[in-house]
Amino acid sequence: VGAIFHGALGLAVGFSAYIISLWHRFAKFENWVHGPVAEPTYLGGMFDDISFRIHRLRQRSRKRKKRMSELLRRWQDSSGSLPDATVVINTNGTIAWFNLTASSMLGLKPSDTGQHITNLIRNPRFVHFIREADYTEHMEIPSPLDVSKVLNVRLSAYGNKQHLLLVSDVTHLRRLMTMRRDFIANVSHELRTPLTVILGYLESLKDEESLDQDDIKQYMDRLEPSAKRMKSLVEDLLMLSSLDTDAPASVESSEVVNVAGMVRNICAEAEQLSGGRHEFHCNIDKGLKIRGVDKEIYSAFMNLVSNAVRYTPDGTRVEILWQEDGDGAKFCINDNGPGIQPEHIPRLTERFYRVDVGRSRQTGGTGLGLAIVKQVLRRHDATLEIHSRVGQGASFCCHFPAARLEGEEQQPQSNVTYL
Protein backbone atom coordinates (compact mmCIF):
# COMPACT_ATOMS: atom_id res chain seq x y z
CA VAL A 1 0.00 0.00 0.00
CA GLY A 2 2.87 2.28 1.01
CA ALA A 3 4.58 1.72 -2.32
CA ILE A 4 1.34 2.41 -4.20
CA PHE A 5 0.78 5.54 -2.12
CA HIS A 6 4.30 6.80 -2.78
CA GLY A 7 3.95 5.97 -6.44
CA ALA A 8 0.63 7.90 -6.66
CA LEU A 9 2.09 10.83 -4.73
CA GLY A 10 5.12 10.92 -7.01
CA LEU A 11 2.83 10.84 -10.05
CA ALA A 12 0.64 13.63 -8.61
CA VAL A 13 3.70 15.77 -7.82
CA GLY A 14 5.17 15.13 -11.26
CA PHE A 15 1.88 15.90 -12.99
CA SER A 16 1.42 19.07 -10.92
CA ALA A 17 4.96 20.16 -11.77
CA TYR A 18 4.22 19.52 -15.44
CA ILE A 19 0.94 21.50 -15.23
CA ILE A 20 2.73 24.39 -13.45
CA SER A 21 5.51 24.40 -16.05
CA LEU A 22 2.93 24.24 -18.84
CA TRP A 23 0.98 27.08 -17.28
CA HIS A 24 4.20 29.06 -16.85
CA ARG A 25 5.22 28.53 -20.47
CA PHE A 26 1.70 29.32 -21.61
CA ALA A 27 1.86 32.66 -19.73
CA LYS A 28 5.22 33.42 -21.40
CA PHE A 29 3.81 32.36 -24.75
CA GLU A 30 0.81 34.69 -24.30
CA ASN A 31 3.14 37.57 -23.46
CA TRP A 32 5.15 36.82 -26.58
CA VAL A 33 1.99 36.68 -28.74
CA HIS A 34 0.73 40.04 -27.47
CA GLY A 35 4.11 41.70 -27.46
CA PRO A 36 5.91 43.40 -30.37
CA VAL A 37 6.91 41.27 -33.35
CA ALA A 38 10.14 39.54 -32.32
CA GLU A 39 12.06 36.35 -33.02
CA PRO A 40 10.17 33.09 -32.30
CA THR A 41 10.24 32.19 -28.61
CA TYR A 42 11.76 28.86 -27.63
CA LEU A 43 9.66 27.37 -24.82
CA GLY A 44 10.06 23.76 -25.80
CA GLY A 45 7.67 21.15 -27.14
CA MET A 46 4.64 22.12 -29.15
CA PHE A 47 5.14 25.80 -28.17
CA ASP A 48 8.19 26.01 -30.40
CA ASP A 49 6.28 24.72 -33.38
CA ILE A 50 3.31 27.03 -32.78
CA SER A 51 5.56 30.02 -32.06
CA PHE A 52 7.53 29.37 -35.26
CA ARG A 53 4.35 29.24 -37.36
CA ILE A 54 2.94 32.39 -35.72
CA HIS A 55 6.24 34.17 -36.29
CA ARG A 56 6.14 33.30 -40.01
CA LEU A 57 2.55 34.54 -40.34
CA ARG A 58 3.44 37.77 -38.54
CA GLN A 59 6.44 38.37 -40.78
CA ARG A 60 4.31 37.86 -43.90
CA SER A 61 1.63 40.18 -42.58
CA ARG A 62 4.25 42.82 -41.71
CA LYS A 63 5.68 42.65 -45.24
CA ARG A 64 2.18 42.92 -46.74
CA LYS A 65 1.40 45.94 -44.55
CA LYS A 66 4.67 47.61 -45.61
CA ARG A 67 3.87 46.94 -49.26
CA MET A 68 0.35 48.33 -48.85
CA SER A 69 1.52 51.52 -47.13
CA GLU A 70 4.23 51.96 -49.78
CA LEU A 71 1.57 51.55 -52.50
CA LEU A 72 -0.72 54.02 -50.70
CA ARG A 73 2.10 56.54 -50.33
CA ARG A 74 3.00 56.19 -54.01
CA TRP A 75 -0.64 56.60 -55.04
CA GLN A 76 -1.01 59.68 -52.84
CA ASP A 77 2.20 61.13 -54.32
CA SER A 78 1.10 60.51 -57.92
CA SER A 79 -2.46 61.72 -57.33
CA GLY A 80 -0.97 64.82 -55.71
CA SER A 81 1.06 65.58 -58.80
CA LEU A 82 -1.91 65.10 -61.16
CA PRO A 83 -2.87 68.33 -62.93
CA ASP A 84 -6.55 67.61 -62.20
CA ALA A 85 -8.24 68.09 -58.86
CA THR A 86 -9.65 64.77 -57.60
CA VAL A 87 -12.24 64.55 -54.82
CA VAL A 88 -13.85 61.32 -53.54
CA ILE A 89 -17.44 62.07 -52.52
CA ASN A 90 -19.57 59.78 -50.34
CA THR A 91 -23.14 58.83 -51.30
CA ASN A 92 -24.48 61.54 -48.97
CA GLY A 93 -22.36 64.20 -50.73
CA THR A 94 -19.69 64.58 -48.04
CA ILE A 95 -15.98 64.69 -48.91
CA ALA A 96 -14.13 61.44 -48.20
CA TRP A 97 -10.72 62.36 -49.67
CA PHE A 98 -9.10 64.86 -52.03
CA ASN A 99 -5.67 65.28 -53.64
CA LEU A 100 -3.20 68.17 -53.33
CA THR A 101 -4.36 69.76 -56.61
CA ALA A 102 -7.89 70.04 -55.16
CA SER A 103 -6.44 72.21 -52.39
CA SER A 104 -4.84 74.65 -54.81
CA MET A 105 -7.59 74.55 -57.46
CA LEU A 106 -10.71 74.49 -55.25
CA GLY A 107 -9.31 75.81 -51.97
CA LEU A 108 -10.15 72.61 -50.01
CA LYS A 109 -8.48 72.26 -46.58
CA PRO A 110 -7.80 69.03 -44.62
CA SER A 111 -10.53 70.08 -42.15
CA ASP A 112 -13.07 70.04 -45.05
CA THR A 113 -13.05 66.21 -45.06
CA GLY A 114 -16.53 65.13 -43.93
CA GLN A 115 -18.10 68.42 -45.09
CA HIS A 116 -20.75 68.48 -47.80
CA ILE A 117 -19.05 69.45 -51.11
CA THR A 118 -21.92 71.85 -51.97
CA ASN A 119 -21.29 73.77 -48.72
CA LEU A 120 -17.83 74.57 -50.03
CA ILE A 121 -18.58 75.08 -53.75
CA ARG A 122 -21.91 76.87 -53.78
CA ASN A 123 -22.32 77.62 -57.50
CA PRO A 124 -26.04 76.72 -58.13
CA ARG A 125 -25.24 74.91 -61.39
CA PHE A 126 -22.58 72.87 -59.59
CA VAL A 127 -25.02 72.03 -56.74
CA HIS A 128 -27.56 70.83 -59.33
CA PHE A 129 -24.84 68.85 -61.14
CA ILE A 130 -23.82 67.04 -57.93
CA ARG A 131 -27.45 66.28 -57.08
CA GLU A 132 -28.16 64.83 -60.52
CA ALA A 133 -24.88 62.81 -60.48
CA ASP A 134 -25.09 62.11 -64.22
CA TYR A 135 -21.81 60.44 -65.18
CA THR A 136 -22.30 61.16 -68.90
CA GLU A 137 -22.36 64.94 -68.42
CA HIS A 138 -19.64 67.49 -67.74
CA MET A 139 -19.95 71.18 -67.03
CA GLU A 140 -17.94 74.37 -66.70
CA ILE A 141 -17.97 76.72 -63.72
CA PRO A 142 -15.89 79.75 -62.71
CA SER A 143 -13.19 78.84 -60.19
CA PRO A 144 -14.34 79.44 -56.58
CA LEU A 145 -10.92 81.05 -55.93
CA ASP A 146 -10.58 83.19 -59.08
CA VAL A 147 -13.60 84.01 -61.26
CA SER A 148 -11.38 84.70 -64.28
CA LYS A 149 -10.51 80.97 -64.40
CA VAL A 150 -12.78 78.34 -65.97
CA LEU A 151 -13.00 74.84 -64.48
CA ASN A 152 -14.34 71.75 -66.22
CA VAL A 153 -16.14 69.38 -63.83
CA ARG A 154 -16.90 65.66 -64.33
CA LEU A 155 -18.24 62.92 -62.08
CA SER A 156 -17.63 59.21 -62.31
CA ALA A 157 -18.55 56.14 -60.26
CA TYR A 158 -16.01 55.19 -57.62
CA GLY A 159 -15.61 52.54 -54.90
CA ASN A 160 -18.66 51.51 -52.95
CA LYS A 161 -21.37 53.82 -54.34
CA GLN A 162 -19.03 56.80 -53.99
CA HIS A 163 -18.40 59.44 -56.69
CA LEU A 164 -15.11 60.67 -58.05
CA LEU A 165 -15.18 64.40 -58.83
CA LEU A 166 -12.59 65.37 -61.46
CA VAL A 167 -11.92 69.06 -62.00
CA SER A 168 -9.54 70.45 -64.64
CA ASP A 169 -8.51 74.03 -65.40
CA VAL A 170 -9.65 74.81 -68.97
CA THR A 171 -9.02 78.58 -68.85
CA HIS A 172 -6.24 78.37 -71.45
CA LEU A 173 -8.36 76.20 -73.78
CA ARG A 174 -11.35 78.59 -73.47
CA ARG A 175 -9.10 81.56 -74.21
CA LEU A 176 -7.70 79.80 -77.30
CA MET A 177 -11.18 79.00 -78.55
CA THR A 178 -12.30 82.61 -78.09
CA MET A 179 -9.16 83.80 -79.89
CA ARG A 180 -9.81 81.39 -82.76
CA ARG A 181 -13.43 82.56 -83.06
CA ASP A 182 -12.41 86.24 -83.02
CA PHE A 183 -9.63 85.55 -85.53
CA ILE A 184 -12.00 83.89 -88.02
CA ALA A 185 -14.52 86.73 -87.58
CA ASN A 186 -11.74 89.30 -88.21
CA VAL A 187 -10.39 87.53 -91.32
CA SER A 188 -13.91 87.24 -92.77
CA HIS A 189 -14.57 90.89 -92.04
CA GLU A 190 -11.25 92.00 -93.60
CA LEU A 191 -11.88 89.96 -96.76
CA ARG A 192 -15.54 90.93 -97.12
CA THR A 193 -14.93 94.65 -97.72
CA PRO A 194 -12.54 94.39 -100.71
CA LEU A 195 -14.56 91.46 -102.08
CA THR A 196 -17.75 93.56 -101.97
CA VAL A 197 -15.95 96.35 -103.84
CA ILE A 198 -14.72 93.92 -106.53
CA LEU A 199 -18.15 92.29 -106.90
CA GLY A 200 -19.77 95.73 -107.14
CA TYR A 201 -17.53 96.75 -110.03
CA LEU A 202 -18.00 93.39 -111.74
CA GLU A 203 -21.79 93.85 -111.53
CA SER A 204 -21.65 97.29 -113.11
CA LEU A 205 -19.21 95.99 -115.75
CA LYS A 206 -21.83 93.41 -116.76
CA ASP A 207 -24.38 96.16 -117.39
CA GLU A 208 -22.06 98.17 -119.59
CA GLU A 209 -23.06 97.94 -123.24
CA SER A 210 -19.78 98.98 -124.75
CA LEU A 211 -16.49 99.82 -123.09
CA ASP A 212 -13.68 101.75 -124.58
CA GLN A 213 -10.06 101.43 -123.49
CA ASP A 214 -10.32 104.38 -121.08
CA ASP A 215 -13.37 102.87 -119.32
CA ILE A 216 -11.58 99.54 -118.91
CA LYS A 217 -8.54 101.29 -117.45
CA GLN A 218 -10.74 103.22 -115.04
CA TYR A 219 -12.39 100.00 -113.84
CA MET A 220 -9.01 98.29 -113.48
CA ASP A 221 -7.66 101.21 -111.45
CA ARG A 222 -10.62 100.94 -109.07
CA LEU A 223 -10.41 97.16 -108.78
CA GLU A 224 -6.67 97.03 -108.18
CA PRO A 225 -6.48 98.43 -104.61
CA SER A 226 -9.08 95.93 -103.34
CA ALA A 227 -7.32 93.03 -105.05
CA LYS A 228 -3.99 94.21 -103.62
CA ARG A 229 -5.51 94.50 -100.17
CA MET A 230 -6.75 90.92 -100.37
CA LYS A 231 -3.36 89.77 -101.62
CA SER A 232 -1.51 91.48 -98.72
CA LEU A 233 -3.96 89.99 -96.25
CA VAL A 234 -3.56 86.47 -97.62
CA GLU A 235 0.24 86.85 -97.67
CA ASP A 236 0.35 88.08 -94.06
CA LEU A 237 -2.00 85.29 -92.98
CA LEU A 238 0.17 82.66 -94.66
CA MET A 239 3.29 84.16 -93.09
CA LEU A 240 1.67 84.15 -89.63
CA SER A 241 0.41 80.62 -90.08
CA SER A 242 3.89 79.31 -90.95
CA LEU A 243 5.42 81.28 -88.04
CA ASP A 244 2.81 79.75 -85.72
CA THR A 245 3.16 76.17 -86.87
CA ASP A 246 6.71 75.55 -88.16
CA ALA A 247 9.10 74.49 -85.43
CA PRO A 248 11.80 77.16 -84.93
CA ALA A 249 15.35 76.04 -85.75
CA SER A 250 17.81 75.82 -82.86
CA VAL A 251 20.50 78.51 -82.55
CA GLU A 252 23.23 76.06 -83.60
CA SER A 253 21.42 74.85 -86.72
CA SER A 254 20.41 78.37 -87.84
CA GLU A 255 22.22 80.18 -90.62
CA VAL A 256 24.43 83.19 -89.90
CA VAL A 257 22.54 86.29 -91.00
CA ASN A 258 24.49 89.26 -92.25
CA VAL A 259 22.16 91.72 -90.54
CA ALA A 260 24.38 94.72 -91.33
CA GLY A 261 24.01 94.10 -95.08
CA MET A 262 20.30 93.47 -94.66
CA VAL A 263 19.75 96.70 -92.69
CA ARG A 264 21.71 98.63 -95.33
CA ASN A 265 19.26 97.37 -97.96
CA ILE A 266 16.34 98.13 -95.69
CA CYS A 267 17.55 101.72 -95.34
CA ALA A 268 17.60 102.03 -99.12
CA GLU A 269 14.14 100.49 -99.42
CA ALA A 270 12.80 102.81 -96.71
CA GLU A 271 13.93 105.81 -98.74
CA GLN A 272 12.18 104.40 -101.78
CA LEU A 273 9.01 103.69 -99.80
CA SER A 274 8.98 107.20 -98.41
CA GLY A 275 9.62 108.82 -101.78
CA GLY A 276 11.70 111.54 -100.17
CA ARG A 277 9.05 112.52 -97.62
CA HIS A 278 11.09 111.37 -94.59
CA GLU A 279 14.59 111.97 -93.35
CA PHE A 280 16.47 108.72 -92.63
CA HIS A 281 19.50 108.17 -90.41
CA CYS A 282 20.97 104.68 -90.46
CA ASN A 283 23.48 103.65 -87.85
CA ILE A 284 24.83 100.17 -88.53
CA ASP A 285 27.40 98.07 -86.68
CA LYS A 286 28.95 96.31 -89.65
CA GLY A 287 30.48 93.41 -87.73
CA LEU A 288 27.35 92.43 -85.83
CA LYS A 289 25.86 89.14 -87.13
CA ILE A 290 23.33 86.82 -85.58
CA ARG A 291 22.13 83.28 -86.11
CA GLY A 292 18.56 83.07 -87.34
CA VAL A 293 16.27 82.91 -90.37
CA ASP A 294 17.15 85.61 -92.87
CA LYS A 295 13.69 85.82 -94.48
CA GLU A 296 11.88 86.11 -91.16
CA ILE A 297 14.19 88.77 -89.74
CA TYR A 298 13.92 90.79 -92.95
CA SER A 299 10.12 90.59 -92.84
CA ALA A 300 10.01 91.76 -89.19
CA PHE A 301 12.40 94.69 -89.74
CA MET A 302 10.63 95.71 -92.96
CA ASN A 303 7.26 95.77 -91.17
CA LEU A 304 8.66 98.19 -88.58
CA VAL A 305 10.21 100.42 -91.26
CA SER A 306 7.03 100.41 -93.31
CA ASN A 307 5.01 101.44 -90.20
CA ALA A 308 7.37 104.36 -89.52
CA VAL A 309 6.86 105.55 -93.09
CA ARG A 310 3.09 104.97 -93.15
CA TYR A 311 2.14 106.38 -89.73
CA THR A 312 4.28 109.50 -89.63
CA PRO A 313 3.81 112.70 -91.64
CA ASP A 314 6.12 114.24 -94.22
CA GLY A 315 9.36 115.62 -92.80
CA THR A 316 9.54 113.05 -89.98
CA ARG A 317 13.03 112.02 -88.89
CA VAL A 318 13.40 108.23 -88.83
CA GLU A 319 16.43 106.61 -87.21
CA ILE A 320 17.32 102.98 -88.08
CA LEU A 321 19.85 101.33 -85.74
CA TRP A 322 21.63 97.97 -85.68
CA GLN A 323 23.93 97.92 -82.67
CA GLU A 324 25.29 95.98 -79.73
CA ASP A 325 22.99 96.12 -76.74
CA GLY A 326 24.34 95.12 -73.34
CA ASP A 327 25.20 91.49 -73.91
CA GLY A 328 23.16 91.14 -77.13
CA ALA A 329 22.16 93.15 -80.20
CA LYS A 330 19.29 95.49 -81.02
CA PHE A 331 17.52 96.71 -84.13
CA CYS A 332 15.63 99.96 -83.47
CA ILE A 333 13.39 102.25 -85.49
CA ASN A 334 12.94 105.61 -83.80
CA ASP A 335 10.78 108.36 -85.27
CA ASN A 336 9.71 111.80 -84.12
CA GLY A 337 6.20 111.43 -85.53
CA PRO A 338 2.85 111.74 -83.74
CA GLY A 339 3.51 108.78 -81.40
CA ILE A 340 0.97 106.37 -79.92
CA GLN A 341 -1.32 106.85 -76.93
CA PRO A 342 -0.19 104.71 -73.96
CA GLU A 343 -3.43 102.67 -73.72
CA HIS A 344 -2.84 101.24 -77.22
CA ILE A 345 0.79 100.18 -76.70
CA PRO A 346 0.21 96.86 -74.85
CA ARG A 347 -2.27 95.79 -77.56
CA LEU A 348 -0.34 96.74 -80.71
CA THR A 349 1.00 93.22 -81.33
CA GLU A 350 -2.50 91.66 -81.17
CA ARG A 351 -3.74 90.32 -84.49
CA PHE A 352 -5.86 92.92 -86.32
CA TYR A 353 -5.39 95.53 -83.59
CA ARG A 354 -5.08 98.99 -85.13
CA VAL A 355 -5.09 102.43 -83.54
CA ASP A 356 -6.65 104.05 -86.60
CA VAL A 357 -8.34 101.47 -88.84
CA GLY A 358 -8.97 103.98 -91.64
CA ARG A 359 -5.34 105.11 -91.85
CA SER A 360 -4.06 101.54 -91.67
CA ARG A 361 -6.26 100.38 -94.58
CA GLN A 362 -5.63 103.51 -96.60
CA THR A 363 -1.87 102.87 -96.43
CA GLY A 364 -2.17 99.15 -97.22
CA GLY A 365 -1.95 97.83 -93.64
CA THR A 366 -3.52 94.53 -92.69
CA GLY A 367 -3.37 94.92 -88.89
CA LEU A 368 -1.02 91.93 -88.77
CA GLY A 369 2.35 93.69 -89.15
CA LEU A 370 3.35 93.86 -85.47
CA ALA A 371 1.84 90.40 -84.80
CA ILE A 372 4.29 89.06 -87.41
CA VAL A 373 7.15 91.00 -85.78
CA LYS A 374 6.28 89.52 -82.38
CA GLN A 375 6.17 85.94 -83.73
CA VAL A 376 9.47 86.31 -85.62
CA LEU A 377 11.16 87.67 -82.49
CA ARG A 378 9.71 84.88 -80.35
CA ARG A 379 11.24 82.35 -82.76
CA HIS A 380 14.62 84.09 -82.32
CA ASP A 381 14.44 84.30 -78.50
CA ALA A 382 14.23 88.06 -78.98
CA THR A 383 11.83 90.64 -77.53
CA LEU A 384 10.09 93.76 -78.83
CA GLU A 385 10.14 96.95 -76.79
CA ILE A 386 7.81 99.81 -77.73
CA HIS A 387 8.19 103.28 -76.26
CA SER A 388 6.20 106.29 -77.30
CA ARG A 389 5.16 109.74 -76.19
CA VAL A 390 2.22 111.36 -77.92
CA GLY A 391 3.49 114.22 -80.06
CA GLN A 392 7.14 113.21 -79.65
CA GLY A 393 7.42 109.99 -81.64
CA ALA A 394 7.70 106.24 -81.27
CA SER A 395 10.53 103.76 -80.79
CA PHE A 396 10.34 100.04 -81.70
CA CYS A 397 13.36 97.98 -80.58
CA CYS A 398 14.05 94.29 -81.21
CA HIS A 399 16.49 92.85 -78.64
CA PHE A 400 18.42 89.70 -79.60
CA PRO A 401 20.15 87.74 -76.82
CA ALA A 402 23.93 87.20 -76.68
CA ALA A 403 23.42 83.49 -77.47
CA ARG A 404 22.27 84.53 -80.98
CA LEU A 405 25.37 86.64 -81.69
CA GLU A 406 27.83 85.18 -84.12
CA GLY A 407 31.07 85.97 -82.26
CA GLU A 408 33.88 84.57 -84.42
CA GLU A 409 33.09 86.61 -87.46
CA GLN A 410 32.75 89.87 -85.52
CA GLN A 411 34.99 92.65 -86.75
CA PRO A 412 36.03 95.78 -84.90
CA GLN A 413 33.01 98.10 -84.66
CA SER A 414 32.75 100.71 -87.39
CA ASN A 415 29.58 102.66 -87.69
CA VAL A 416 28.30 103.85 -91.03
CA THR A 417 25.77 106.65 -91.19
CA TYR A 418 23.51 106.94 -94.20
CA LEU A 419 21.73 110.23 -94.60
Residues making contact with ligand ADP (CB under 6 A): 303, 307-308, 311-312, 335, 337, 340, 348, 354-356, 360, 365-370, 394
191 vs 355 by CB, closer to ligand ADP: 355
41 vs 226 by CB, closer to ligand ADP: 226
173 vs 179 by CB, closer to ligand ADP: 179
Q: Is 351 left (phi over 0), alpha (psi -120 to 50) or beta?
A: beta
299 vs 303 by CB, closer to ligand ADP: 303
292 vs 367 by CB, closer to ligand ADP: 367
29 vs 311 by CB, closer to ligand ADP: 311
Cβ 379 vs Cβ 296: under 8 Å: yes
- How big is the CA angle at 296 (ends 375 and 409), to the nearest 5 degrees? 120
- Smallest distance from ligand ADP to CB 289, Å: 26
- Smallest distance from ligand ADP to CB 392, Å: 11
* 372 vs 379: CA distance, rounded Å: 11
Pairing label, strands 279-285, 415-418? antiparallel
89 vs 340 by CB, closer to ligand ADP: 340
- Phi and psi of 387, rounded to 5°? -125, 140
Non-local CB neighbours of 1 within 8 Å, separated by 6+ positions: none
- Smallest distance from ligand ADP to CB 398, Å: 13
- Smallest distance from ligand ADP to CB 159, Å: 56
* 322 vs 397: CA distance, rounded Å: 10
- Smallest distance from ligand ADP to CB 418, Å: 19
Q: Select the residue whose beta carbon is closest to ligand ADP and give its number.
A: 369
- Smallest distance from ligand ADP to CB 393, Å: 8
